[in-house]
């Protein structure tokens, strides 16, 4: 049994990303007697278990199914824990790592909170 109920997250993820995902891997699907549009329509309403079954049935290789699982697990984890990703330069990350080590901050969120608190931005 699953540790978390990710059905709500799956619906959100599927609605936002499934068509782009299918386009990305369209050359790896053997749709047999179906068109790619028919397959897309089926995937638009499939729950997580159903979509895995659909992919196993029509994919030439496992890579797209593994990527879907990985991307969805990451999405669900971030949603459950209210996390987001940001991109920063390696130089900035190294400076942040140094500050965390020097001042004992718990993580990047804690460091950023402290930096905002001690700057003129805390009024925002």
Domain ranges in the chain are 7-80, 90-123
Mean per-residue pLDDT over the chain, rounded? 92
3-state helix, strand, coil in the chain (%, to 5): 70, 0, 25
User: Do 76 and 9 contact (CB within 8 A), yes or no?
Assistant: yes
- pTM, two decimals, is 0.77
pLDDT tens-digit readout, 3-40: 778 999 999 999 999 999 999 999 999 988 889 999 99
The pLDDT > 90 percentage for the chain reads 83
- pLDDT at 1 exceeding the cut of 60: no
Instruction: Answer yes or no: is pLDDT of 41 > 80.
Output: yes
């Amino acid at each position: 049994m699953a540790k978390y109920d990710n059905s709500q997250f799956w619906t959100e993820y599927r609605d936002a990303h499934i068509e782009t995902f299918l386009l990305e891997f369209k050359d790896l699907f053997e749709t047999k007697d179906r068109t790619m549009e028919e397959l897309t329509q089926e995937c638009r309403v499939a729950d997580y278990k159903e979509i895995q079954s659909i992919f196993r049935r029509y994919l030439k290789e496992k890579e797209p199914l593994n990527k879907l699982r990985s991307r969805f697990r990451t999405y669900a984890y971030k949603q459950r824990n209210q996390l987001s990703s940001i991109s920063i330069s390696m130089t900035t990350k190294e400076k942040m790592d140094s500050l965390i080590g020097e001042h004992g901050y718990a993580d990047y969120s804690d460091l950023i909170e402290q930096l905002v608190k001690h700057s003129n931005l805390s009024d925002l």
